[in-house]
Amino acid sequence: MKRTSRVKSKILVVDIGGSHVKCKMTGRRNHIEFVSGPKMTPGEMMNEITKITVGWGFDAVSIGYPGVVRKGKIVRDPFNLAPGWIGFDFPAAFGRPVKIINDAAMQALGAYKGQKMLFLGLGTGLGSALIVDGMIAAMELGHLRSGPKRTYEDLVSEKARLRLGNKKWRKKVWEVVERFRNALLPDYIVLGGGNVRHLKRLPSDTRLGGNADALTGGFRLWEDGV
């Protein structure tokens, strides 16, 4: 990886999800989370974070954002939150340097063990990222159409799981994993996201991401100057 940034010692990692926002910091054992949802604006999120992190004394911030980020800038409002995210000045709001990355990409970075890795995040939707020799490519593979009426995300989302039941949903997950494996040719696949708990077995060359991946990814953003 390129090493272009000064290593920061105390990083606050903010992992923004459709149902909760998680805040974690270097050296603190537990994370703190609060409820997000379709009405949360970035300003409201910042109010919560400011309250929570009083006295935490961090030097820099990593944000995992559930939407499209290009060159460190949010370029689309998120599906599951209120609008107003494009152009919001996070460095000013935090008073510290901030790096923003797609949430699946941040988790992928935390799970990365070299070579060519495909990350698929099974949650409300289907997150995705590819890392090639340390270089991260955030993706939205879930939005690719898999048929006349459905996207790949529609096959394995939380909605699909509730509609199909766990058994059929698991079958779909395997199918989608194999399709993406054949299309993107990774050396291995990491499955993350809350819904991995509903999986039983794993396809070959596939492993589960860990709970701490987003945190680890947020730290690595500053270590490695991604």
Chain contacts with its own copies (rule: CB under 8 A): 2, 68, 70, 116, 130, 132-141, 143-148, 179-180, 182-185, 187
Q: With respect to its own copies, which residue has the nearer C-beta, 41 or 146? A: 146
Q: With respect to its own copies, which residue has the nearer C-beta, 172 or 198? A: 172
Q: With respect to its own copies, which residue has the nearer C-beta, 12 or 117? A: 117
Measured at the CA of 213, the angle between CA 154 and CA 155, to 5 degrees, comes to 10
Length of the chain counted residue by residue: 226
* SS3 assignment, position 143: helix
Provide, rounded to whole angstroms, the least separation between the CB of residue 31 and its own copies: 28
Provide, rounded to whole angstroms, the least separation between the CB of residue 70 and its own copies: 7
Provide, rounded to whole angstroms, the least separation between the CB of residue 47 and its own copies: 31
Q: With respect to its own copies, which residue has the nearer C-beta, 132 or 162? A: 132
CA separation for the pair 158, 80 (Å, rounded): 14
Provide, rounded to whole angstroms, the least separation between the CB of residue 151 and its own copies: 9
Provide, rounded to whole angstroms, the least separation between the CB of residue 43 and its own copies: 27
Q: With respect to its own copies, which residue has the nearer C-beta, 97 or 134? A: 134
CA separation for the pair 43, 30 (Å, rounded): 24
Q: Which long-range contacts (CB under 8 A, 24 or more apart) does 189-192 make?
A: 189/117, 189/118, 189/119, 189/120, 190/108, 190/111, 190/117, 190/118, 190/119, 190/120, 191/120, 191/121, 191/122, 192/104, 192/107, 192/108, 192/111, 192/119, 192/120, 192/121, 192/122, 192/127
